[in-house]
Amino acid sequence: MKNFLFSLLGILSLPVFAQFEVYTVDVTTNDLVYDSHTNRIYVSIPSSNGSNGNSIGVINPYTRELESTTFIGSEPSVLAISDNGQYIYSGFEQTSTVRRFEVATQTAGLEFSLGGDDFLGPYYVNDIEVMPGSPSTIAISRKYVDVSPTHAGIAIYDNDIMRPTVTPGHTGGNQIEFKNNTTLFGYNNESTGFDLFRYAVNAGGITEVSETGGFPGGYDFYLDFAYHNDRLYYTNGSVVNVSSAPFVAGQFANTFGSVTYDAHKDLVAFASYNSSGSIRFKRFNPTTYLVQDDIAISEAFGESKSIITCGSGCYAFNTTDNKVVIINDGTMGLDENSAKKLTVFPNPVDDFLNIDGVNANLDKVQIFGLSGNLVQNIKNPSRKINVQFLPKGIYILKISENGKTMQTKFIKN
């Protein structure tokens, strides 16, 4: 389904209109993340979706199709993706485990148990975050089942090995976000302290540095937040500055819902909902706190769960009425055709990699390692690339054609 919607920019913004295209994908999901290297949205699909449940699903944001599903485990819940797009981590509602999905091979990989407490029972995942620059290291906010409050401390894992120092249970940051590889923020949204925590992360594990009660104010249960550049953007519209001692820096008016920071446009985006079940997509200026866009979403109803950016001018969020809503901002020049046509084969490859979906005359082809290091730079290449010299591993292929760039991943055998 597709609607064209228009929204007048805020009073102090330029007097132009933003054009939005709104689509929906009918699929039951618990969480979603986006990988910029494969240009795909990945979703956790529970068993209630039917025959393809208990899986990681792949949605093409340009064709709005569920392209494939891979079994991952019983009732997958929260997801987190490494910043290099190598791994997606999944928690589960039915098992005390974490499992890793390998994006390049589209396969379920490493799985490990979280253990538990002898009296209170097993640990389950409440939230997961991948350490910046370290795809094999994650922070897990743990929870108990049938215990109140549910919080069971935060632990740091390298692959399946837990670092020895963990934070206490009972109260603590059950919603978490990394600032960098040494600092983690946590928020207690399930008990009346409503505390904001700053944690230090090191080789030994994780320890509490500070705790500030009553943040961001309003005493709302179930708040979550997104982090960017020393600011926490809360689901109730509050903005908290955490460059030093935390303080409330501002408020986005009349909004409540899942939130994300859009680095492409330097805006804060919300899938805002109200008690009547109406959903509105809103974007705010993070400096002036003024609304930039506000459009009604008639294609979905209920509450939003999570919202993400899915490329320049693309947003996606999932809802309680079993839809994934995809929004394209037409004013940002989203190039749907180039992103969906680029393919390489064979993949995995032994010797020569063929490039399809592009013109014969390419400007440049570059091959990068997953850490971002340039491995090969080819000017005026053909569509058949010799990769025999590459060591085994996962690589990113970046193509320049007529002033546009496209990229995808491939595996060298």
Average pLDDT, the chain: 89
Residues 379 and 263 in one domain: no
Q: Is 2 part of a structural domain of the chain?
A: no
Residues 375 and 254 in one domain: no
pLDDT of residue 359: 64
308: tokens are 């993400």
pLDDT of residue 382: 81
Domain with residue 389: its CATH number is 2.60.40
Instruction: Write the DSSP symbol of residue 317.
Output: E
Averaged pLDDT for residues 383-396: 88
**Which has more confidence, 192 or 200?**
200
- Among 302, 329, 356, the domain-final residue is 329
Residues 97 and 166 in one domain: yes
Residues 254 and 111 in one domain: yes
Within 8 A by CB and 6+ apart from 233, the residues are 225, 226, 227, 239, 259, 261, 268, 286
Residues 84 and 147 in one domain: yes
- Among 329, 355, 378, the domain-final residue is 329
Banded model confidence at residue 131, pLDDT cuts 50, 70, 90: very high
**Which has more confidence, 400 or 320?**
320
**Which range among 4-8, 245-249, 289-293, 384-388 shows the weakest confidence by mean pLDDT?**
4-8
Domain housing 112? 20-329
**Which range among 58-67, 240-249, 280-289, 379-388 shows the weakest confidence by mean pLDDT?**
379-388
Name the burial class of residue 339, with classes exposed (0-12), middle (13-18) and buried (19+) by CB atoms within 10 angstroms of its CB: buried
Q: Is 216 part of a structural domain of the chain?
A: yes
- Among 299, 329, 359, the domain-final residue is 329
Residues 403 and 308 in one domain: no
pLDDT of residue 398: 81
Averaged pLDDT for residues 356-363: 70
Q: For the segment 239-282, what is each residue's pLDDT rounded down to a tens digit? A: 999 999 999 999 999 999 999 999 999 999 999 999 999 999 99
Residues 362 and 249 in one domain: no
Q: Is 112 part of a structural domain of the chain?
A: yes
pLDDT at residue 5 is higher than 50: no
Q: Is 169 part of a structural domain of the chain?
A: yes
pLDDT at residue 404 is higher than 70: no
**pTM of this prediction?**
0.81
Residues 195 and 144 in one domain: yes
Banded model confidence at residue 334, pLDDT cuts 50, 70, 90: very low
Banded model confidence at residue 315, pLDDT cuts 50, 70, 90: very high
Residues 317 and 364 in one domain: no
CB burial string 192-218: b at 16+ within 10 A, e below:
ebbbbbbbebeeebbeeeebbeebbee
Q: Is 9 part of a structural domain of the chain?
A: no
143: tokens are 């929870």
Domain with residue 40: its CATH number is 2.130.10.10
Structural domain count, the chain: 2
Banded model confidence at residue 215, pLDDT cuts 50, 70, 90: confident
pLDDT at residue 335 is higher than 60: no
pLDDT of residue 206: 98
pLDDT of residue 330: 67
Residues 79 and 173 in one domain: yes
- Look at residues 413, 394, 404 and name the one whose alpha carbon lies nearest to residue 35: 394
pLDDT at residue 188 is higher than 90: yes
Q: For the segment 270-299, what is each residue's pLDDT rounded down to a tens digit? A: 999 999 999 999 999 999 999 999 999 999
Give the other-Cβ count within 10 Å of 65's Cβ: 12
pLDDT of residue 20: 86
pLDDT at residue 237 is higher than 60: yes
Classify 291 as helix, strand or coil.
strand
Residues 238 and 99 in one domain: yes
Query: Is the peptide bond between 286 and the residue preceding it cis, with omega within 30 degrees of 0?
Result: no
pLDDT of residue 360: 60
pLDDT of residue 366: 86
pLDDT at residue 333 is higher than 50: no
Q: Is 10 part of a structural domain of the chain?
A: no
Averaged pLDDT for residues 166-194: 94
Residues 350 and 240 in one domain: no
CA 148/CA 140 separation, integer angstroms: 19
Q: Is 98 part of a structural domain of the chain?
A: yes
CA 345/CA 139 separation, integer angstroms: 36
Map tokens 């292929």 to a residue.
Answer: 397
Provide the sign of the torsion angle of the four alpha carbons 261, 267, 271, 276, taken in this order. Answer: positive
pLDDT of residue 368: 84
pLDDT at residue 164 is higher than 60: yes
Banded model confidence at residue 384, pLDDT cuts 50, 70, 90: confident
Is residue 285 within 8 A of residue 262, CB to CB? The reply is no
Q: Is 248 part of a structural domain of the chain?
A: yes
pLDDT of residue 403: 58
